[in-house]
Amino acid sequence: MGRTFVISDIHGEITAFNQLLTEINYEPGTDQLILLGDYVDRGEDSNAVLDKVMELRELGAIVLKGNHEDMMIKALTSEEERLWRHWVDRNGGSETLRSYGFREEEYTVSPDLPFERPQLSSEALEKHLEFICSLDIYKEQNDFIFVHAGVHPETPIHETEERDFLWIRDPFHNGYCGEKKVVFGHTPTKYLYKEDTNHSIFFGDNNIIGIDGGAVYGGQLNCLELPGLHPHSVKIKPESSSE
């Protein structure tokens, strides 16, 4: 095995994703690609990103689930209005549904009527939901832990709840002190740096490495190359970002 590349939080930005794979000269079968989740929501084409991610897993990539995939699954398979609105109205689910060709009137629910989950039929969507349900939550190697959001600093990894792997922030950022380096996404690095214009990979003093460059917010799509901890990135043009 040659190089290892780690990418997270693509959020539908298919153009930047393809550009980044080209720039790092990723070679399936020789290099190892690890994707840390959040392929969907807010960006230009979540449908295309998931197609690409499925293709990459067939070629040997390790593909993990993010909290946005978790929200998507729950919204589209439960009958709870809270879960539907949390995804569609507040976390970019509407952009994802549009990428499958659904119109706004097909997925909008009226606040004045009893909730009924919209029945959305799409072969591509069903294929992607099945794929998402098959994804692992974390990957542990000799010197690294790869995960979407982080690990709980006080809980053994094999006892950690799935929600922590997908959603944790401050307790992990401030409290982790393990021997293995944890590579994660989820939290845009500008918040870790506390600098609104710094989207670079964050190397914490406590063995945490944050790689979410806030691509979908006009930042950059980052890639960490191992074992040398070498950063790569693609800047996002402002017009392709989504607030």
Pick the CATH number of 4-69+131-240 from 3.60.21.10, 3.40.50.300, 3.30.2350.10, 3.40.50.150: 3.60.21.10
For residue 238, give the 3-state DSSP assignment.
Answer: helix
Q: Is the pLDDT of residue 243 over 60?
A: no
Would you state the pLDDT for residue 238? 60
Q: By C-alpha distance, which of 23, 22, 42 is closest to 218?
A: 42
Kindly state the tokens that stand for 8: 């997270």
Would you state the pLDDT for residue 188? 98
Model confidence over 105-138: pLDDT tens digits?
A: 999 999 889 999 999 999 999 999 999 999 999 9
Kindly state the tokens that stand for 114: 């009893």
Q: Is the pLDDT of residue 171 over 70?
A: yes
Beta bridge partners of 181: 144
Kindly state the tokens that stand for 109: 């629910």
How far is Cα 131 from Cα 49, in angstroms, rounded to an integer? 13
Residue 3, Cα to own-chain centre: how many angstroms? Answer: 21
Q: Mean per-residue pLDDT for 54-81?
A: 98
Model confidence over 80-101: pLDDT tens digits?
A: 999 999 999 999 999 999 999 9
Phi/psi-derived region of residue 113, left when phi > 0, alpha when psi is between -120 and 50, beta in every other case: beta
How far is Cα 228 from Cα 5, in angstroms, rounded to an integer? 11
Would you state the pLDDT for residue 236? 86
How far is Cα 25 from Cα 107, in angstroms, rounded to an integer? 39
For the chain, what percent of residues have pLDDT higher than 90? 94
Would you state the pLDDT for residue 43? 96
Domain regions of the chain by residue span: 4-69+131-240
pLDDT band at 14 (very low <50, low <70, confident <90, very high): very high
Kindly state the tokens that stand for 2: 């040659």
Phi and psi at residue 111, to the nearest 5°: -75, -10
Would you state the pLDDT for residue 240? 37
Question: Is residue 127 within 8 Å of residue 50, measured between CB atoms?
Answer: no
Q: Mean per-residue pLDDT for 24-50?
A: 97
Place of tokens 């690095």: 189
